[in-house]
Each structure stands twice: as structure tokens, then as C-alpha cells.
Structure 1
Amino acid sequence: MKTLIFLSASGAELSGLCCTVVFPGLSSQQAEDETPRDPAWSLLPDCGLEVELLVKGRSDLGEVAPEIKASERRTAVAIADLEWREMEADDYGTNEAQDSDFPTAERSRLQEMLSLLGLETYQAQKLSLQDALQISSDSMRNWAPQAPKDLPWNFLRKLQALNAEARNTTMVLDVPLDARPMEKESQMEEEIIYWDAADDISADIYSFSELPTPDTPVNPLDLLCALLLSSDGFLQQEIVLKMSLCQFALPLVLPDSENHYHTFLLWALRAVVRTWWAQPPRGVGGLREDSAVLSRAPTFAFVRMEVSSNSKSQLLNAVLSPSHRPRDCFWHRDLSVGTNPREIADGLVEVSWFLPSGREDLDVFPEPVAFLNLRGDIGSHWLQFKLLTEISSAVFILTDNISRKDYKLLYSLRGSATKYYFILSPYRGKRNTNLRFLNKLIPVLKMDHSHVLVKVSSTDSAGFVRRVRSIVAHVARSPCRRLSVEEMAHAARKLGLRVDEDCDECQRAKQRMERITRRIKDCDAYRRDELWLQGDPWRKAAQVEKELCQAQRAGDPPDKGRAELGHRLLELRAQQNRQDPAWGLQEFIAGISSASLAEKQYFLRWMEWGLARVAQPRPRQPPETILSLRPKHCGMVDFGELLWPEPLGVEHFLREMGQFYEAESCLVEAGKLPACQRRFAHFPGLALELLLKGLPLELIDGSTLSTPLRWVTGLLKELHVRLERRSRLVVLSALGAPGTGKSTLLNTMFGLRFATGRGCGPRGAFMQLVTVAESFSQDLGCDHILVIDSGGLIGGALTAAGERFELEASLATLLMGLSNVTVVSLAETRDIPPAVLHAFLRLEKTGHVPNYQFVYQNLQDACAPGPRPRDRRPLLDPPGDVSRASAQMEKQGDGIRTLADLAFCDPEKQHVWHIPGLWHGVPPMAAVSLGYSEAIFELKRCLLENIRNGLSNQNKNIQQLIELVRRL
């Protein structure tokens, strides 16, 4: 038997397949029908078969990539029937048949995609979060990718900056357009190719199914899948978290055609936290915050069966968006580069949520609703579709035709508790066949005719979206399945999918966390009864140390008073040293002492989430206040301690370790304890491992407003030993009143993990380390950047506040004195905290003038492109009464100068930045504004340029920093 195939291709991709199948003994009408009678159909294996495939550049079936391109579009009747027979033999329950169809081609396609993107080297040793966050020369320029291997790094850089254009995978080539070689497929036009039956037809077909050439952008979903497959669990988590802030749909099931198994991404979604307005049936509504994997919601899946003229992703975006605020949560074919064929992303399941804000004009649903989107058709990805049917409240199936094979597939779902809806396009479908099979499926799937929706080109799109929404709302209101992502993972395990959280290291870390948190019933009581060194003992010791320091600075002789203070300090430290670590702290120390680096990281993440779950519910504000504040992470209100109590966190366990180390070191220094009897000398080394892996470590205790000097010095000494020859540091600090967005600014610039939110984070100053790539360190002049976030330390106390103001001014002086670069985050143009200005004037007398950058963030102006000269002027005007009072404290009397007179603030230079509001729209469904992302990138570029040009004074090595900490 010979098969004649005519090809006419105008591009690298075969865009459609029309086939005529001639069966002996069948009329032409029967041959055209996809469901011939069984007697004739049964003759197929025994009869001669002549198949004529006419492949055109565009078929009448629409923009559908052929089967030979995506391994899932089966429009050729003969091929479809062969697969149907294989599925029938397997009872339609698995996808083994389709997995074995083209295994070699699928495997090579994944490997070729990884090679094209330069990610093949990260299959054995996965790409880590630290690799992705390194400062390099690319960090200083707004570069466009010029080769496919640039795409992953460009995507990561834009995603770190919360840039909504991260999914744009277009490239800019250096080669002029007319100088590029003619594409191979253009030379094939009008050629007729014949194959003999003895030839390897599939291999010949695949020779025409090439990956994109370098000047063709890669499909964004392929790029995402390739990057996730090449990343470790912690980088995956960071990618998903940043995607959620950009309001992108998140990957839920990651396909892996190379290894023929798929991964349910439970761990990757763990870090996503959702905030929404909850309106109970009775009573006043309130703002609720919960983990995305733990909160339950009705879930609606949208899938495609064979060919559909309607776009699932466009429909989903329309359902999720108010009519006047369109959103592109799901990438679709009408976006730029959206039409590029998917090579490895078919089988990907994405998830997105609608979250109400409490505003009727924006809320299309009154409660949170989850939406799932399966890329590719259900016949080729039966395992993923089976999962969706078991976790969804309702499934919407988009198709143009229902064939006999499709009927058999759907018939196997009989008895399912899920509701099913069909969205048909009869314009390209076969009306009679569809009706015949729909009538058979209605009793099987427990549907009625209202479950069948028809959408053609003349259908009112807005009205159709309203109808789909009304169905979703009706199902959500009625008793229906409501699952969390964690519960969905149980269903995935039963179906044989791999869950990323099930590795041994992750599970051991989780079990240790649960042993610790199970004993925490009340956070305040736990801190008081279990973490006893950081309560009153630490406050008393800190107060005595301050008095000793003040006496030494005053130059007082070592009289009886100083000796008494020293004796009292040793007594307090001896009391602390006589204590043993509580059981919970011992478990914590065992967790961060694990021989496995990955298990340490898993344990820390689990502890963060576990402690957040046991924390007491936070008080919430009335809706009018919340809506006036608008975005999380970027409020301009000073959230005080009374409204937002400090939660129990990992930093309290590390603070307790620091106090054990402080007490022991103090006694050793005084000769009261032999060095050989030390028990806690290894604690700084344990904490340093966490700093190197991205955990913020406390520099100043927010409860006592004191610096544990010996503990911080021990950390820096360990850092010096660990970094060896790469110990040149630049210190960058951020100061400002709470709620001015400084922590979010630092996180966005450098990919850091400083606590953000409405004042709910820890109130200390924290430091994180950013590594400079070795290839760039010589040019930049440093090996690492130590970033310090002042947290809620600088609260804006007035000079009349007495001791509180003096404490804030001292802390601001300390942080700025350590810094090469200081970013001052402001809420208003005249809102320089008095303590910060006081530190300016104090440091100016010492001759230490860091490079200063003032950042003014404005909620109301979400579309400003960047720094604007007219916004610099108010900061350069003469200071007001508060500034005058600060200057008088420095005994400058009437000689008050404007900020423009100070050396660090030249009105002609860009020292003052206007940053647009963080959100584009109203949270919780708002994405980060493009203006915010671009302005933060420009600020980062300026800071790095200043460091490279030496404007930040001499860079410090760690030994110099240790000495500076002691002196300050």
C-alpha cells in the first residue's frame, strides 16, 4: 500500500490538515462522515487504504496546528481512528497510547528547546535562586534579547522587576533584515514530495517540523515550561510568586514530555498569598488574607476538545475582567507572539483566581473563584483532563466537532459528580453529527440543553461572556465541590502525577516544623515562656550596655558607677547563660544544622508558613479605610504597633540564638567563662548559611531598638572567612517611615525577601546579601552588596517625643554611617522623618557623606513614567519647623541651611526620584504598573552606576565594616 501526500507550505509550520479517506465499500457521503457504520469500519484492517492528505498553508478548520506539529491535533480521520482503537483497548483510562505515538520526536523536541534556550546544562544541576539574582553587567542596561539563549535571563530579569511585559519573547537581532538568509521553508513552496511506504514517514514529517529560527520569538508558554523544568524548587517558587504579583496565570501542572510524567506544582505555589474582601452572609465584611494553596474556592476548568474556533484563554480573560478593565491573565493567540506554535507547553494546566475587592463596579463575582486552563486538547492529555474533572466544580468544553472517538472519551466520565458545559461553534462544525452525540451525552453526563452554548462570529461577545459568568455564579452559589490547591494535590497523587512537594527532604522539614508549631497555642505566651532570653533579660542588658557606652563616650573615668554597671551587666549575662535552649529552639537549631542544604531551605520556608498559620488573627479595618489605602505593600499610612502587633516569626528564633551567643561571649570576654566551655560558638556559622541563601538576618532588634554587637560581629567574621578573597562590600540602606514602600522597592530591585505588608512584618533592621557576578565585580568595584532595610524603626517621632526620637535618630545615624548608599523613601514631598534629617546633619559633621537618593512614591499617579524635575523642587526648599528643631539639637542655631546647600543634594542631579504607584488598578486584582517597574529599574541602574563610578566613597571590606559597627 502506498500513501500519496501533497504538501504546499508557506512557513515552517504546517498550519492545517485536510484529509480525504477513501474506504472500499463506502459511499463518498459515508467517507466524509467521521462516524461510519461499524460493519464498514471493521473492514479497515483488512482492506486496502488510500489516504490523500492535502496540506495547505491554512485550512478551513481555522488556525489549528496539525497533529504532526503539536502531537495532539488529530484531524486526519485514519490516524484518529487508529488512536481511538488503542484507547479503546486501554479502556480510555490512561494516556499510554498517545505517549507512545511519537516518543522519539517528543523527547528530541524538549531537548532541542532546552538547547535553543541555553538551558540544557541545567538539567542535572538545576538553576538556583542565587544564580538568577546575581548582579551582572546586564543589570545596568535595559537590553533586549538578541538570541534565543537571552530569553530565559531576560524573562527572569523582567519578572524580578515585576514588569508586566516579561512574557514578551521577541528578540532584536544585530543582522539587518534584508541580510538574513532566506528561510528554508520558503524554498519549498509548490514542491510535491512523495514517500514510499517503506520509508520512515514520521521521521520525514518531523524533518519539516522545526523549532523557531533565531529571529522568530519562542512561545511564552514554552519559555516558561523550559525555565521551570531547569530550575530548582526555590527558584520555581520565586518565579510563581512574581508571576502572581504581575497577575499572570500560574502553572499548576507542568508537563514533561521527555520523562513522560507531569508535575503538580504544590510547593511552587506555597509562597503565594491572596488578599480579598470577604462578605459574610450576615455581619460586616472584612479583608481576609490566606495562602493560595490552603483557601478553598469553587473551581472551573476550561478545556478544548479537538479543534475549537473560540479561544479559551480570551474567553477566560473576559470572564475574569470587568468590561472597562480588560486583563490578560492567560496568554492567548491574539497577543504579540501569541500565535507562535507551542512546542513543549501542551499539557500545561494554568490556574488563576478572581478575588473580590468589595467594590460592586469591579467585582464580577461576590466570592473568590478559581479558573483552570488546559493547554492542548483533552484527547492527547487525558491524564490532565481526568484530574480537572475530579477537582472542578464545572468543566467547560470548547469544540467545533464531536467525533465518535470524543464521544467514547466523554462517555467514560459517566457517574462523574462534575457539571459539564459545551461551547460549540457550528460555523465550522458538523451540525448533525454534533447533535447526535450531544443527545447521547446529555443523560450520561447529567446535562440538559442549557448546558450547551453556541458561539459564532455573529454572537454578541459581551452578552456571551455575561452568560458564562451567570453559569459560573449559579454553580458557585449552589452546593458544589470546593477544594484547595493542597486538596487538589491529593487527587493528582491518586492519578499518578508527581507532586513537587513529595521529596524526602521537603517532607522531613515539614514534619520538623509541625512538631514545633504544634506546641504553639498563643504566640505571646510562647515568646514569654519558651524564648525567654529576648524578653526582659535582653531589655535590661541592652539598657545597661547603652549606659556603659554613653559613659565611655563622655570620657568619664572608670569610677564606681561604671564598675557597678559592668558588674550588673555580667550578672544579667550570667543569668542568661545559665539557661538552656527550650525544646522548640533546639528543634529549630537541628533544622538549620541539617547536612542537606536543601533540607535547611525547605525547613526555613516551612517555618515561615507554619508560624504565619498559628499567629493570632490580625485586626482588620473598616472597608472605607481599606479602600482608601488601596494597595498592599504600598500604603502611605503609618501603621502603628497597636493596630498591627508583631507576629511570631523565624527572626525570633534567630534572635534567641543571638542572645545565647551574646551572653556566652560577654562572659568569655570578662574571663568569667573558659573559652573551652563554650556551647554556642557555632551559632553565627549556622545563621550565616541562611544569609547566604537569601534569608534576611536581624541587625537591630526592633523590640529593644538595640544592636546585639557581639552577635552581629560574629556573623560578619564568619562572612569574612566564608567569602575569602571576594570580601569587598558596598552597603546600601533604605530608610523611611513605615508604609512608604521601601521594602517592596528593595525586593523589586534586587529580588530580596524583606517582609512587606501593612506594618505586619518584624520591626527590626534586617540585612541581606546580594552577590556580584565574578565577571562584573572588577568593573563594579565590589564583590557583594549588603542591603539593609530599616523596617519599622524610623516611625517619624517628633523631637518632642524625647527618648523615642533620640533612639530613632541614633539608629538612623548607625544605618547611614554604615552605608555607601542610602535610599530615603518618602510618602510626601516634605515628609523627611525628623530622625533621618537629624542623622544627615550629624554625619555631615563627621565628613561621612554617603550617596543619597530620595524616593517619593505616589499612590494617585500610577502612570508617571519616572523621575520628574518638577517633583524635586519641594524637597530642596527650606526645611520646616521639624527640620529646624533637629538642626537646633545639633546646636547649629540660626545657621540653618536648605537641603540644596548640603553636599549630597545637588538640584541639577537626579537625587530625587518620583516613583509611580505600585498597582495598576485596584487590588486585589490589580497588576503591578509598568511605570513602577520601569522607574525602579532606572533607580537601580543609577545606584549601580554611582557605585561603579566611586560616588559612594570607598568600598569597605568586611574587617572595616566590623570596626565601623563597633565604633558607631
Structure 2
Amino acid sequence: MVRARPLGSLPGRGAVPRAMVLVEVELLVKGRADLGEVAPEIKASERRAAVAIADLEWRDMDPDDYGANEAQDSDFPAVERSRLREMLSLLGLDTYQAHKLSLQDFLQISSDSMKNRAPQAPRDLPWNFLRKLQALSSEARSTTMVLDTPPDARPAEKESQMEEEIIYWDAADDLATDIYSFSELPTPDTPVNPLDLLCALLLSSDSFLQQEIVHKMSLCQFALPLVLPDSENHYHTFLLWALRGVVRTWWAQPPRGVGSLREDSAVLSRAPAVAFVRMEVSSNSKSQLLNAVLGPGHRPRDCFWHRDLNVGTNAREIADGLVEVSWFLPSGREDLDVFPEPVAFLNLRGDIGSHWLQFRLLTEVSSAVFILTDNISKKEYKLLYSMKGSATKYYFILSPYRGKRNANLRFLNRLIPVLRMDHSHVLVKVSSTDGAGFVRRVRAIVAHVARAPCRRLSVEEMAHAARKLGLRVDEDCEECQRARGRAERITRRVKDADAYRREELRLQGDAWRKAAQVEKELCRAQWAGDPPDKELRQRLLELRAQQLGHEPAGGLQEFISGISGPAPGEKLYFLRWMEWGLARVAPPRPRQPPETILALRPKHCGAAESSEPLGVEHFLREMGQFYEAESCLVEAGKLPAAQRRFAHFPGLASELLLKGLPVELIDGSARSTPLRWVSGLLRELHARLERRPRLVVLSALGLPGTGKSTLLNTMFGLRFATGRGRGPRGAFMQLVSVAESFSQDLGCDHILVIDSGGLIGGALASAGERFEQEASLATQLLGLSNVTVVSLAETRDIPPAIVHAFLRLEKTGRVPNCQFVCQNLHDACAPGPRPRERRPLLDPPGEADRAGAHTERPGGGMRTLAGLAFCDPGKQHIWHIPGLWHGVPPMAAVSLAYSEAIFELKRCLLENIRNGLSNPNKNIQQLIELVRRL
């Protein structure tokens, strides 16, 4: 039998770059060569073993084969390097190798933010992928390019881009038929495999953008990169830091007792791991098999990318050696739960012979390894023989070619005692095999492995194994580790969040609440034209002096050092470590049954509020109170300006705002705005943005649990806290930059996005002080805004405080452009608003609305909310957003209809800003004055 293959390709499911042929030749032909030139990360002992294997194989090689390949050995490094460079150049990412793409580059608003068109050139592909990923679109990996050239004018497809198969023929076969069958393969619309695009982007991104990409991929339920190959420098990176932000929720069912929902970091939670790898050629697709195993019933999930998906047949150029990870997470429903506990699934792209280091890692961390192959020859036998003594269970999935059955059985019989297998560890899948039955059999094996005593490792523990093998771990950089140590000096002292707030963050206690109340009374008197109450003024000064009598606690001083002294990158590392460290000590959140996991449901009015978790915002709030107290005493002449110690605090906070951290605008605990602190912060922001001062304020209001934070995060890539009971209760702001090339057209340089958190609780007018508090806060946020998104769970569920705020602002003529978003409706699948859905907002107001209207306009005529919010009821101001999840969480992906609706809403908001349909744009100085007035 003769074996033929396309020039420059290797057999396999995905395309294997030509350089990998040279790697194989390097190992097999040059047995005496220094393997360090090919893989410097391999340790000396491994190199000796690899050289020994290569020497054995070299002795068995045909001399003619040796002569044919000898000339190709010398160009391996140049060929390999040029492939990565060509890919980066093709995608326009070569300029981001010295200075990596940052998170700010990713979030910047440009003219493309309003477009939803296919890429026109390869350089559009990375940005199109990032925009779709930000919008949580399940089609992010289906990024294709529109070619203007007619099909017959396109350059011939490179041979290495053909779908790679080994063609076998006997002497009697018609050679021409097999050879020319290559020309019948379809020509793809894009020259880039989605996995190559992902690898190129990750290699061009800084660690914070890598983390954001992986986080968004996890929300879309895509398989996540675990080991990133870098053929340019011949080292591979274990992506521990990039996975730090991924959080998993699942239904934990103890052996005896009632189950409960559990939430934990994907990096810290332990689970058995099962790896799927390919050896040489395999007729069966690993990724398709994995998707079928992970999917409930007969509905496979497209978690792992495979060649039968759109643009999936394009040859991989730089992604071979990539290791991906995905988890099965139980939901508590027997009809959906394939496995009773979480299981990690690992997938190596490419052949294990060419990526031996990654294969060694998988054998170190996995409880079982499934090897897909059609052929076990002497070379494969010797490779696997080197795994003798491994504690991992090995399973083979075979689909033997003609004439290979006996050879496979011969080598398998030799491997069975070596790898401690039996015949049940060998599965055969050919074209006549029942696919569903085969998937059930694989699931049964995985379930048996997971139930039996086996190694259960977290991703963090996998990183230890990666280090021992010589892989680089992204988290090991000096900046990251210094920041981690600084953050842990704070977080390790936090045993109980409430006790820590009382003992360490003392300025946020009763003195602050009393001072906030006194300032509200002074403000009311000022706007009523009454003379200032000297007694109230004196009381305020006493309270501020009482606050300033405290010294910043040790934890706060360490926090200030963490955000002031280090380099910009170290600050961001420090803040992330702080967030995760504080999240670990947060009290467990109340949990609902599995069918309501992650559902967007509003809290019932009057429900008891849970204890606010400790977060970074509390440290910034403490800094704000020191600044407030000091500024108040300086203004009153009770403290010389020369003795100020905290005047630099607003500058530190404004720098964090510029770096993308949410900063508190309204204190959710005291339900008050620290005016001096916010004004000082905005002044510092103005000084830093003096070249580009024009600002638009976009806010989101609504009841907790209506999805407004998720909506803002999806639209603009922000980091507002999400999840009922998790986030802080204040109003937070984040700054989004507009590209200079687009700022003139849009009419602003920055968009300040404000999320109202849990400030609006749906209190009725009869609730007295609480209703007045909510109405005042809603008035403040609406008055600051150019554009407001009001998030509702049902069309009739409009918080009375928001109606009240509209009625107040009508007198000033400052009602912002409003868009009402109704989420999670039963019939929300239909696109666009319909008259029936619009009717509740056009109906006469109910009792709550009447009470609010009479409070503001006693004896006056009634106005509907629709009359206040819209000048033209025919225009689209009501958006019905489909449910967030497609399926049942936690395995459900984000609905494509949700991401498409969010994109249309974003486009509409930007269009309104550009067309000047909102309140007049303002600069920061005007915003400061508006904060004081409101």
C-alpha cells in the first residue's frame, strides 16, 4: 500500500502546519540533534527520552525518506517564525507585539460600534470578533469576511489550507480520481481559522484584555484556552491569570441530604478532568464528540469549535498545540444532567507527537485520557510506551483504515499491560457505528471515572504541574506577584466583613449617616431661601471633626499604597486581587431552586435587604470620607489648608476611573452623595481630560434584578457588579472613551455611564421617607443624564419613584431622552415593539402614579408617563429584550436574540446622542455644578 498526502501537510482532523512536518523530521531524522532548538522548555530528562525514541525510529526509517527530508531540516525555525508573523501581519496585529492591545482599546467607541456588517478585509476580523464577543454573541467565532473579488478571480487556495486527509490507494486504484478530488473541496470565504484568530488576538493582548476575552467567552459557553502556543518563541503559556475572572455556578447534590446551588471560581474549584487527544490521523472528530458528550440528550453543544461549523474547515496555521477547557455543570434537573458532578474536559488541538509537552501536562492533570487514532504503528507505540507507570487511565477510540486492523491490534496488545488497560478501554467507531449509542458509552466511562477515587484538581493546581514541566504561567510575572502579596496583606485580615467594616473602616458608621442627614437639611433650607441654621452647621462641623479624629487604619493605608505608588499595570493587578480576595470572604448568598438560576427577576417591594458584601468600593468610600471631613473643616476655617493630608485622594480615584474601575457616585449605605468628594474627583478628571472635555451622561434606572447592570456591561464592556444580592447598593459611574476619529461625528469625547445599583427599591408613595429618598435619588440621576435607560421586568412595573422624578424634572425642562427596556418577558421573542406591548405606558396613571403627581402638582391636571417621556408616541422608545439565557443555566449560553437586541439598543442610544435628541452635552465643569444643584 502506498501513502500520499498533500505537500506541506500532515494527516489529522485540523490542518497541521508544514513546519510540524519539519518538527517530525527533526525528531525522527536527526536523532543526535539538540532538541532544545525545537522546544527549549523541555527539561533535560525529557529531551533524553525524546532523543532515545527518535533514535529508535530513525534507525527504522527508509533511507529514501531520509534523503527526501534532509534538505528541509534547516529551515524549520525560519518557516515556523514566518508563519506566526504572516498571520499577525494579515490580521493587522503585528503592530501590537511591542505594545500590546489593552482593555481600553477594546472598550473604545468608534464608528464601527454602530455598524453590524461583515468584515471587508482580514484586518477587520479581530475587531469584529471583539465587538461580537463584547455583545455576548454566540456567532463571535463565526466571523467571516466578505470578499469583493469574484470567486474565479481569487488566488488559488494554498495546499496547506486544504482539509487534510491521508489518501490511501492500492496499486489497482485509479490514482487520478484520488488526486484530483482535492480540487473539489470548497473555498472558504475567510483565510483565517477561528482558533488561529483567537490565538493571534491573545498573543497580541495584554493580560487584562486576555482576561476580558476569556471572561466573555465563558459567558457565551465557548471552550476556554488553557495553554496558549507561541511558535515564534517556542514556549507555551498556561493561562491561569486569564481564567481568574471566570465564576461557575452549579447544583451540588451531596450523597445524602438536600442539594444546593454552589458558586466558586473556576480556577479554585476542584473537579475530575478528562482529556481528549489525537494521535496521528483520526477519522473521528474530537471536538464533535466532546460537544455530543457535553450536550443534554440528543442536542450537542457547540462548545468546542469543529470543522463542520461555519468556516471551520480552514486550516490551522498557528493554533496547533492549543489546549482548551470546558466544564460540565449540573443544574439539578435529571433530564439535563449528564453527570452528577462538575467534570472538566480538556482538548488538545493537533497531534500528540508534535505537541508532546502539552500531552505530558494532560496526563499529569487528567483522570482519564481518550486517544483518537486510526493507526498505531511502531512510532506511536514507542511514544506511548514512554508513559509507562502513569496513574492516568487511557482509552483508545479507533477507526482503522483498510489493512491496519491487525497492526493496530498487535501494538494494542503490547500496550495493554504497559498502560494498565483492558479490552474495555478500546472503543471502535466506524461509519456504521450508532452515534448516539457510542456517545452514551463514552459518557458512561466518564461517569465511572468521576465516581471512582481519582485525582480532582483545580486549574490553580494544574498550573503547578505546568510549571514543573517547564511551561510558562502568565500569573508568574513580577508585577502580578507583587500586587498579589500587597492585596493579601489586606484580605487575609478580613475574617468577617461586617466586623472589618466596624473596626477598620470607621468613618462609614453613624457619624457619616448623621452628617449626610444634616447636609440634606441644610441643602433644603438653602434652596428654600431660608437663612442657614447655625445649630445645624455647628452640628455638621462636630460630626466632621469626630470623623477626622480617627487615623486611617492599617488596611486602608496599605490600600492607598497599592493604588498610588506602583506602576499602572501593578495597580490594576492589585485591584483585581483585592476584588477576588474580598469575594472569598463574602457571606454566602441566598439561593433559589435550579430553575431560577441566574434568572432576571426583580425583588419584591419591601423585601429585606441582605448585608452588603465588602468590596473595593468601601475602601474608596473611606478615602472619600476622610477627604469630605477635611474639606468641610478647611472651608469653615477650622483647619489650615497647609495642614491638609488627604487632598490627593480624588486624584487617585480619578485615575482608577480612567482605567475602567467603577467609582461610587452615590453612597448606597447612607443614600447620599458626598458632594466634596465627587466634585474633587470630577475636577481631577477634568484636569486629566482637558484636551477632550465634552461629556455625555448615560444612566440606567430600575428595580434590582431587572438586568440593567448586565445590559450596560454587554453594551459597553463595563464591569458593574451583577447578580441579585451580590452588588453594592450605591450608584456607580464608569468612563467610556470615544475614538478621536469618531468624537466629532458623535459630538462628545467621553460617555459617563451611571448604574443606579439597588437605590430604587420600588417603594410606594405611602412609604413616606423611603419613597421620598428613592424619588430624590431618581431625580438626581435623571437630572444628570443626557440619556436614560429605564429597565423594567414587566411593562406595568414602573417604579413610582421614577414617575415622581419625571414630574419633578418636567418643571425644569431637563427630562432626558429615555428608552424603556422590558426584559425577560414571556412573549419577548417577537422583534420590535407592538401596539399591545406599548399600551400600558400610554394608559392613564395608576394609584401610585396619581399619588406622586399630586405630591408635585396639587390640584393640577394629570399627565401620563408616556406624555412626559415621549414627544412623539410613534417613535420607538420601548424595547422588548428577550431572555438572557438560551436554555437552562448553568450550561445555557447567552441567547443570540438577546445580544442582537442589545446591539440595536446601543446603536439607537448612540444615534440619539449623535443627533442631539438628548439634553445638551456638557463638560465636566458643568457636570460638577449640576451635581451641586441636584
State whether TM-score is above 0.5: yes
In 2 relative to 1, CA 384–481 (structure 1 residues): closer, same or farther, beyond 3 Å?
same
Distance in 1, Cα, partners of 2:876 & 2:402? 60
Q: Report if aligned partners of 2:789, 2:818 keep a CA contact under 8 Å in 1.
A: yes
Structure 1 runs (4+) deviating above 3 angstroms are 53-59, 61-67, 69-74, 78-81, 83-89, 93-101, 174-186, 212-215, 636-644, 859-870
Could you list the runs of 5+ residues in structure 2 that have no partner in the other structure? 36-45, 56-71, 163-181
TM-score under structure 1 length normalisation: 0.88
Secondary structure of 2:713 counterpart: helix
Question: What is the aligned partner in structure 2 of residue 413 from structure 1?
Answer: 387
In 2 relative to 1, CA 697–337 (structure 1 residues): closer, same or farther, beyond 3 Å?
same
In 2 relative to 1, CA 293–179 (structure 1 residues): closer, same or farther, beyond 3 Å?
same
Q: Is 1:288 aligned with 2:262?
A: yes
Following superposition, the deviation at residue 870 of structure 1 comes to 3.8
Following superposition, the deviation at residue 631 of structure 1 comes to 2.6
Q: Is 1:585 aligned with 2:552?
A: no
In percent, how many aligned pairs have the same letter? 82
Question: What is the aligned partner in structure 1 of residue 781 from structure 2?
Answer: 815
Alignment of 1:261-280 (within 5 A): 261-280=235-254
Q: Is 1:380 aligned with 2:368?
A: no
Secondary structure of 1:102 counterpart: helix
Question: What is the aligned partner in structure 1 of residue 50 from structure 2?
Answer: 92
Match of residue 475, structure 1, among 449, 461, 477: 449
Match of residue 841, structure 1, among 799, 807, 815: 807
Question: What is the aligned partner in structure 1 of residue 228 from structure 2?
Answer: 254
Q: Report if aligned partners of 2:605, 2:761 keep a CA contact under 8 Å in 1.
A: no
1:606-638 Cα distance to aligned partner (Å, 9 max, x none): 0000000112222333x2xx52x3435x23444
Paired amino acid for 1:91: A
In 2 relative to 1, CA 224–286 (structure 1 residues): closer, same or farther, beyond 3 Å?
same
1:884-931 Cα distance to aligned partner (Å, 9 max, x none): 111111124462122333353532101000100000001000000000
Paired amino acid for 1:563: K
Following superposition, the deviation at residue 521 of structure 1 comes to 1.2
Distance in 2, Cα, partners of 1:874 & 1:680? 51
Q: Is 1:82 aligned with 2:49?
A: no
1:378-413 Cα distance to aligned partner (Å, 9 max, x none): 000000000000000100000001111111111111
Distance in 2, Cα, partners of 1:94 & 1:274? 44
Distance in 2, Cα, partners of 1:102 & 1:452? 36
In 2 relative to 1, CA 164–443 (structure 1 residues): closer, same or farther, beyond 3 Å?
same
Following superposition, the deviation at residue 548 of structure 1 comes to 1.1
Match of residue 540, structure 2, among 553, 566, 569: 569
In 2 relative to 1, CA 485–426 (structure 1 residues): closer, same or farther, beyond 3 Å?
same
Paired amino acid for 1:90: R
Match of residue 519, structure 2, among 515, 525, 545: 545
Following superposition, the deviation at residue 557 of structure 1 comes to 2.3
Alignment of 1:78-227 (within 5 A): 81-82=28-29, 90-92=48-50, 102-177=76-151, 180=154, 215-227=189-201
Distance in 2, Cα, partners of 1:96 & 1:581? 65
Distance in 2, Cα, partners of 1:548 & 1:64? 71
Q: Is 1:935 aligned with 2:906?
A: no
Following superposition, the deviation at residue 100 of structure 1 comes to 8.3
Secondary structure of 2:50 counterpart: coil
Following superposition, the deviation at residue 642 of structure 1 comes to 3.7
Following superposition, the deviation at residue 865 of structure 1 comes to 3.7
Paired amino acid for 2:854: Q
Q: Is 1:775 aligned with 2:725?
A: no
1:710-730 Cα distance to aligned partner (Å, 9 max, x none): 000001000000001201000
1:731-769 Cα distance to aligned partner (Å, 9 max, x none): 000000000000000000000000001221100000000
Following superposition, the deviation at residue 519 of structure 1 comes to 1.0
Distance in 1, Cα, partners of 2:12 & 2:365? 31
1:749-802 Cα distance to aligned partner (Å, 9 max, x none): 000000001221100000000000000000000000000000000010001111
Secondary structure of 1:483 counterpart: coil
1:468-523 Cα distance to aligned partner (Å, 9 max, x none): 00000001000001000000000000000000000001001111111111111111
Q: Is 1:68 aligned with 2:18?
A: yes
Alignment of 1:448-847 (within 5 A): 448-558=422-532, 562-621=533-592, 623=593, 626-627=594-595, 629-632=596-599, 634-638=600-604, 642=608, 644-847=610-813
1:638-673 Cα distance to aligned partner (Å, 9 max, x none): 497746321000000000000000000001111111
Distance in 2, Cα, partners of 1:734 & 1:443? 65
1:817-863 Cα distance to aligned partner (Å, 9 max, x none): 00000100000111110000000111011111210000000253474
Question: What is the aligned partner in structure 1 of residue 303 from structure 2?
Answer: 329
Paired amino acid for 2:108: Q
Paired amino acid for 1:145: P
Could you list the runs of 5+ residues in structure 1 that have no partner in the other structure? 1-17, 21-52, 189-207
Following superposition, the deviation at residue 146 of structure 1 comes to 0.6
Secondary structure of 1:482 counterpart: coil
Following superposition, the deviation at residue 547 of structure 1 comes to 1.3
Secondary structure of 1:350 counterpart: strand
Alignment of 1:346-357 (within 5 A): 346-357=320-331
Q: Report if aligned partners of 1:275, 1:288 keep a CA contact under 8 Å in 2.
A: yes
In 2 relative to 1, CA 299–823 (structure 1 residues): closer, same or farther, beyond 3 Å?
same
Distance in 2, Cα, partners of 1:358 & 1:753? 29
Question: What is the aligned partner in structure 2 of residue 441 from structure 1?
Answer: 415
Distance in 2, Cα, partners of 1:643 & 1:422? 55
- How many pairs does the alignment contain? 884
1:663-717 Cα distance to aligned partner (Å, 9 max, x none): 0000111111111110000001111111111110000011110000000000100
Following superposition, the deviation at residue 868 of structure 1 comes to 4.3
Q: Please, which moves more after superposition, 911-920 or 546-555?
A: 546-555
Q: Is 1:393 aligned with 2:367?
A: yes
Match of residue 236, structure 1, among 206, 210, 218: 210
Question: What is the aligned partner in structure 1 of residue 857 from structure 2?
Answer: 891
Q: Please, which moves more after superposition, 173-182 or 133-142?
A: 173-182
Distance in 1, Cα, partners of 2:779 & 2:16? 67
In 2 relative to 1, CA 101–948 (structure 1 residues): closer, same or farther, beyond 3 Å?
same
Match of residue 376, structure 2, among 390, 397, 402: 402
Following superposition, the deviation at residue 63 of structure 1 comes to 6.1
Following superposition, the deviation at residue 867 of structure 1 comes to 4.2
Distance in 2, Cα, partners of 1:19 & 1:479? 46
In 2 relative to 1, CA 79–783 (structure 1 residues): closer, same or farther, beyond 3 Å?
closer
Question: What is the aligned partner in structure 1 of residue 824 from structure 2?
Answer: 858
Question: What is the aligned partner in structure 1 of residue 280 from structure 2?
Answer: 306
Distance in 2, Cα, partners of 1:489 & 1:288? 24
Question: What is the aligned partner in structure 2 of residue 202 from structure 1?
Answer: none
In 2 relative to 1, CA 337–869 (structure 1 residues): closer, same or farther, beyond 3 Å?
farther
Distance in 1, Cα, partners of 2:214 & 2:769? 44
Q: Report if aligned partners of 1:217, 1:337 keep a CA contact under 8 Å in 2.
A: no
Following superposition, the deviation at residue 594 of structure 1 comes to 2.5
In 2 relative to 1, CA 894–275 (structure 1 residues): closer, same or farther, beyond 3 Å?
same
Q: Is 1:902 aligned with 2:849?
A: no
Secondary structure of 1:895 counterpart: coil
Paired amino acid for 2:885: W
